[in-house]
Amino acid sequence: MLELTMATVSGTEEGATAGMLMADAPSEPGAVLRVGRDKSVCRLATPEEWLFVSRVHLEFLCGPEGVWQVSWLRGSQPDPSSEVRLVVGEYAQTVAYGGTVQLPRGGNGEIVVTDRTGPRSVNVGFYHEA
């Protein structure tokens, strides 16, 4: 099981959790959870006017061994207007535009999508059951 929580944070709301959204999916091969502005395909949707987030920005996919990975999908622009980081405890890793990172099994952490042009972020917490 992968559980996600998402909070959208602007500069004046640092640390706020109001409006937190949640989604989960079983750890079965092919299971998918998406994060982005398009509510028709994303289980967790950001505000439509937050253009630093793509229509489908992040895709969490369960592989054949029940291990989850997250991909930052390439959008319509050659250069992104956001940055994506994976944070697990003291460890932080930048996710490449169009790149994929495996999530720790039996672990938790956060994927942070930061607007390069202003003090806004999308914080997606995850818990991956072992």
Give 10-residue mean pLDDT values along the chain (130 residues).
92 58 94 96 93 95 93 90 94 95 90 92 90
Joined tokens for residue 105:
């099994």
In this prediction, residue 102 carries a pLDDT of 93
**Cβ contact 29:64 at 8 Å:** yes
Quick check: 63 and 105 in contact, CB under 8 A? no
How far apart are alpha carbons 6 and 19 in whole angstroms? 8
Question: Token pair for residue 31?
Answer: 């299971």
Environment class of residue 106 by beta-carbon count within 10 Å: exposed (0-12), middle (13-18) or buried (19+)? exposed
Task: Give the pLDDT confidence score for residue 11 in this predicted structure.
Answer: 72
Type of residue found at 34: R
Please give the angle made by the CA atoms of 113, 26 and 122, to the nearest 5 degrees: 10
